[in-house]
């Protein structure tokens, strides 16, 4: 397959930009402010609570994710990993094409 054709093939494999999110899922279990009165202080903590942790402009932003949205978020995160992997491959192929043209 020619290099320019392989770029087109890679482009077709890109996940839709409307279905990608960059970040990582973080899980928290917490204790509340009722020591002695709540099970969380006897080992059974509240949660799990899922957060999407995102680096934005040098800061980390955390967004609480409802449990029912977890599979969707996981799919979007997977799509981002695939997207960035494919974009890197496309850029490397582009560079090879440019080198050949010189
Ligand atoms: Zn508690």
- 35 CA distance to ligand 1 middle (Å): 8
How many domains does one find in the chain?
1
- 42 CA distance to ligand 1 middle (Å): 9
- 36 CA distance to ligand 1 middle (Å): 9
State the average pLDDT over residues 61-78: 97
pLDDT in tens, 25-48: 999 999 999 888 899 999 899 999
pLDDT of residue 5: 86
- 45 CA distance to ligand 1 middle (Å): 7
Q: How far is Cα 47 from Cα 60, in angstroms, rounded to an integer?
A: 21
pLDDT band at 91 (very low <50, low <70, confident <90, very high): very high
DSSP character for 17? G
Domain encompassing residue 37? 3-101
- Give the 3-state secondary structure percentages of the chain, helix then strand then coil, rounded to 5: 50, 25, 25
- 47 CA distance to ligand 1 middle (Å): 10
């Amino acid at each position: 397959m020619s290099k320019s054709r392989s770029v087109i093939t890679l482009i077709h494999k890109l996940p839709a930009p409307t279905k990608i999110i960059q970040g990582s899922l973080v899980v928290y279990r917490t204790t509340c402010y009722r020591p002695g009165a709540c099970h969380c202080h006897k080992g059974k903590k509240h949660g799990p609570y899922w957060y999407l942790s995102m680096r934005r402009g040098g800061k980390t932003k955390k967004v609480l994710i409802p449990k029912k949205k977890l599979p969707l978020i996981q799919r979007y995160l997977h799509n981002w990993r695939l997207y960035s992997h494919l974009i890197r491959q496309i850029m490397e192929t582009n560079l090879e094409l440019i080198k050949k043209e010189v």
